[in-house]
Amino acid sequence: MKLHFLILGSALLCCQSSVWAAEITVSAAASLSNAFKDIAGQYQKRYPDTVIRLNTAGSGTLLQQAIRGAPVDVLAFADDETMDKAQAAGIVDKAARKIFARNTLVLVVPVKSRLNIRSINDLPSPDVRRIALSNPASVPAGRYGKAALERSGQWQKVLPKIIQTQHVRQSLDYVARGEVDAGFVYRTDAALMPGKVKIAATVQTDKTVSYPAAVVKDSRQATEARRFTDYLASVEAQNILRKYGFGKP
């Protein structure tokens, strides 16, 4: 009888362990919110014993959360620079990172805007009073936008007009509500609100807008985390990313 209970107890512990092993937290850049929600759903259908917890925010915010010990298994950023910082901090291994998608930075305006904005060179115009730009110190979209403005010689001219946002989706919301005259977002973000925003110009970036993902070194579910990052390269996941306008890696 005692042996029977020991075997039963061991079985229950194994079952409990397997349940915990199937749950991972994925911290993803805000611009990936919609696509990763669908990807997580498809992944859980393929692996029904798995639970994906999504945590979305600006890439810099996600990096700081991971550095401070937040329980994260996978990091997916909107630029290589942030992943380089994660690697330098010893959070991820170089061999554990891979680029799974690309994007394009655009300048958007409210769909009913009457301003003649066709490029970032039009932003210094006195008719343009407010411009949404994510914090360049922590958000890749903001960093790309600032660099483009600096290259064109417009940064100092438009600096007083900049309304700094926490992430690219906040910039999109500001433009959609007409609270700013223009904003820097990704093409995939603009596509989410075709009835509220329109693309005024494509912004040339000094680097390709790439999205890397990596398994966190301290992940307690490393095997599951690796399976998820590998899944991002699958035809199924890539089709979802294409649906939302992301480019091939």
Q: Residue 95 has what pLDDT? A: 84
Distances (CA, A) of 8 to 5, 15, 140, 197: 5, 11, 52, 60
* 10 vs 187, more confident: 187
According to CATH, where is 3.40.190.10 located in the chain?
Answer: 22-102+209-244, 105-202
Question: Which is nearest to 103 in space by CA: 4, 208, 9?
Answer: 208
Q: Residue 247: which region, alpha, beta or left (left: phi > 0; alpha: psi -120 to 50)?
A: beta
> Mind listing the pLDDT tens digit for each residue in 26-49?
999 999 999 999 999 999 999 999
Give the integer Cα–Cα distance in Å for 9 and 1. Answer: 12
Q: Residue 22 has what pLDDT? A: 77
Confidence (pTM)? 0.85
Q: Residue 96 has what pLDDT? A: 81
> Mind listing the pLDDT tens digit for each residue in 66-95?
999 999 999 999 999 999 999 999 999 888
* DSSP line for 181-209: SEEEEEHHHHTT-TTTEEEEEEPP-SS-E
Residue 168, marked binder: yes
Query: What is the 3 state secondary structure string of 50-110?
Result: CEEEEEEECHHHHHHHHHCCCCCCEEECCCHHHHHHHHHCCCEEEEEEEEEEEECEEEEEE
Q: Residue 64 has what pLDDT? A: 96
> Mind listing the pLDDT tens digit for each residue in 112-146?
999 999 999 999 999 999 999 999 999 999 999 99
Of how many residues is the chain composed? 249
The per-residue pLDDT of the chain, averaged, comes to 91
Give the tokens for residue 35. Answer: 């696509």
Residue 31, marked binder: yes
Residue 59, marked binder: yes
Encode 62-88: b = buried (16+ Cβ within 10 Å), e = exposed. bbebbeeeebbbbbbbbbbbbbebbbe
Q: Which CATH class is domain 22-102+209-244?
A: alpha beta
Task: Kindly state the percentage of the chain with pLDDT values over 90.
Answer: 88
Q: Residue 16 has what pLDDT? A: 45
Question: Which is nearest to 172 in space by CA: 156, 158, 188, 161?
Answer: 188
Give the integer Cα–Cα distance in Å for 102 and 211. Answer: 6
Q: Residue 20 has what pLDDT? A: 47
Q: Domain 105-202, CATH 1.10.10.10 — does that match?
A: no
> Mind listing the pLDDT tens digit for each residue in 151-188?
999 999 999 999 999 999 999 999 999 999 999 999 99
Q: Residue 13 has what pLDDT? A: 43
